[in-house]
């Protein structure tokens, strides 16, 4: 089992555990606030299941029907999760303003504090694990899931702080102030992930620094007189490079291939943590200077 699949399974189990705990305490206390938190955990559970299905399908090998893999399933999963995060942001903002207008107070403080302590500990452990997997695999679905649970973690921390302050001071205004702050944080955090996915779906070129390194590698080969139509793009875990290498007219085909293979080896050294795909053409038009 891949590390990314394992991460989605652990996310699902954690969300289900939190859901169970919150439902039990809601049944005991009858707190609507805890029930709302349980609904959030239910949503987290379904998202983690959806992410697992998406990663499982995206990791399937390419075949006659899908010649370039199924990685965009992960993009759809991340976009779906982004919509959920934005919905959470809108709901939190609405609830905060509604609490302020109607001067609502929180009931069953002790039960609520217990729930938030448990939620914070479990979510913290999950975020640490997801961050580890994200750094190890550079998988954007896991990064999105990590962001999702990270917003839950910050939310749990601030809510716990607010509940403690209210418990000792009865200053209820701290509740809606913190909720509004959290909603703004969620909005900006979610934007970073969705921007990355949109750029990948649009076949964004590789980072300028990497492109310059590729050009330098090509220029270091004295046998290559020039190059043209250098194009790069990034999709999922794969970096694509297309280029025309221009040699002198008297070069042997075997020597041209040998130079191309050396270029491929050097370019792969730029980033050893991803897959590379090359489409290299040969030409014999003699330009006086390299581009």
- Which of residues 171, 201, 231 is at a domain's end? 201
Q: Looking at the structure, do residues 38 and 76 belong to the same domain, yes or no?
A: yes
Least confident of 7-11, 60-64, 242-246, 285-289: 285-289
Higher-scoring residue by pLDDT: 130, 272: 130
Q: Who wins on pLDDT, 227 or 67?
A: 227
Confidence grade of residue 186 (pLDDT, cut at 50, 70, 90):
low
Range of 107-121, 167-181, 185-199, 212-226 with top mean pLDDT:
212-226
- What is the SS3 assignment for 281? strand
pLDDT: is 239 or 41 the higher one? 239
Task: Please report the pLDDT score of residue 202 as a whole number.
Answer: 74
Mean pLDDT of 252-272: 91
Q: Are residues 59 and 183 in the same domain?
A: yes
290 located within any domain: no
pLDDT, tens digit, 9 for 90 and up, residues 55-94: 777 777 777 777 766 777 776 776 776 777 677 667 766 7
In this predicted structure, what is the pLDDT of residue 112?
Answer: 72
Better-predicted residue by pLDDT, 147 or 220? 220
Integer angstrom CA distances of residue 63 from 18, 89, 238: 40, 40, 17
Looking at residue 287, its pLDDT comes to 47
Domain membership of residue 144 (yes or no) is yes
The answer to whether residues 53 and 157 belong to one domain is yes
- How would you classify the pairing of strands 275-283 and 238-247? parallel
Q: Is residue 104 part of a domain?
A: yes
- Are 66 and 126 in a shared domain? yes
**Residues 62, 120: one domain?**
yes
What total number of domains does the chain contain? 2
Looking at the fold, whether 29 and 157 belong to one and the same domain comes out as yes
The domain boundary, picked from 186, 201, 216, lies at 201
Higher pLDDT, 137 or 186: 137
What element of type H or E holds 226? strand 224-235
Q: Which residue has the tokens 């939620």?
A: 119
Answer whether residue 291 is part of any domain.
Answer: no
Percentage above 90 pLDDT, the chain:
17
Looking at the fold, whether 197 and 217 belong to one and the same domain comes out as: no
Say if residue 9 is exposed, middle or buried (CB neighbours under 10 Å; 0-12, 13-18, 19+). Answer: middle
> Does residue 160 form part of some domain?
yes
**Nearest-angstrom CA–CA distance, 89 and 62:** 37
**Confidence band (pLDDT; 50, 70, 90) for 288?**
very low
Q: Examine the domain organization and report whether 82 and 186 are in the same domain.
A: yes
What's the rounded mean pLDDT across residues 150-168? 75
pLDDT per residue over 15-49, tens digit each? 899 888 888 877 776 555 666 667 777 877 887 88
**Rounded Cα distance, 220 and 232, in Å:** 19
In a domain, 97, yes or no: yes
- b/e per residue 17-38 (b: at least 16 CB within 10 A): ebbebbbebbeebebebbeebb
- The answer as to whether 238 is a domain residue is yes
CATH code, 245? 3.30.70.1350
Residue 2 DSSP SS3: coil
pLDDT averaged over every residue in the chain: 78
Domain that holds residue 243: 208-283
Query: Where is mean pLDDT largest: 78-87, 169-178, 233-242?
Result: 233-242
Are 130 and 48 contained in the same domain?
Answer: yes
Between 166 and 131, the more confident residue is 131
Q: Which residue has the higher pLDDT, 128 or 163?
A: 128
Mean pLDDT of 240-255: 89
What pLDDT was estimated at residue 270? 92
Residues 59 and 95 in one domain: yes
The end-to-end CA distance of the chain, in Å, is: 46
Of 170, 201, 232, which closes a domain? Answer: 201
The residue that leads in pLDDT, 49 or 154, is: 49
- CATH (domain of 196): 1.20.1510.10
- pLDDT at position 182 is 66
Q: Are residues 277 and 152 in the same domain?
A: no
Q: Is residue 289 part of a domain?
A: no
Same domain, 24 and 156: yes
| Best-predicted range by mean pLDDT (84-88, 93-97, 131-135, 186-190) | 131-135
């Amino acid at each position: 089992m891949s590390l990314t699949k394992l991460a989605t399974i652990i996310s699902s189990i954690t969300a289900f555990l939190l859901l169970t705990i919150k439902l039990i305490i809601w049944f005991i206390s009858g707190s609507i606030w805890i029930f709302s938190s349980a609904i959030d955990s239910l949503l987290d559970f379904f998202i983690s299941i959806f992410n697992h299905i998406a990663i499982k399908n995206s990791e399937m090998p390419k075949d006659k029907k899908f010649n370039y893999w199924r990685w965009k399933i992960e993009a759809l999963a991340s976009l779906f999760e982004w919509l959920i995060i934005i919905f959470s942001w809108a709901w939190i903002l609405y609830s905060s303003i509604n609490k302020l207008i109607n001067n609502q107070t929180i009931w069953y403080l002790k039960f609520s504090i217990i729930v938030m302590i448990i939620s914070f500990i479990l979510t913290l452990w999950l975020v640490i694990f997801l961050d580890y997997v994200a750094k190890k695999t550079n998988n954007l679905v896991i990064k999105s899931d990590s962001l999702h649970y990270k917003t839950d973690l910050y939310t749990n921390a601030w809510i716990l702080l607010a509940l403690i302050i209210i418990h000792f001071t009865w200053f209820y205004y701290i509740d809606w102030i913190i909720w509004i702050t959290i909603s703004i944080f969620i909005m900006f955090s979610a934007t970073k992930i969705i921007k990355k996915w949109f750029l990948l779906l649009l076949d964004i070129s590789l980072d300028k620094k990497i492109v310059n390194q590729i050009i330098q590698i090509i220029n270091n080969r004295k046998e290559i007189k020039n190059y043209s139509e250098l194009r790069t793009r990034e999709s999922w875990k794969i970096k694509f490079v297309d280029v025309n290498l221009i040699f002198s007219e008297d070069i042997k085909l075997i020597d041209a291939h040998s130079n191309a293979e050396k270029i491929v080896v050097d370019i792969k050294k730029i980033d050893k943590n991803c897959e590379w795909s090359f489409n290299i053409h040969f030409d014999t038009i003699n330009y006086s200077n390299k581009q």
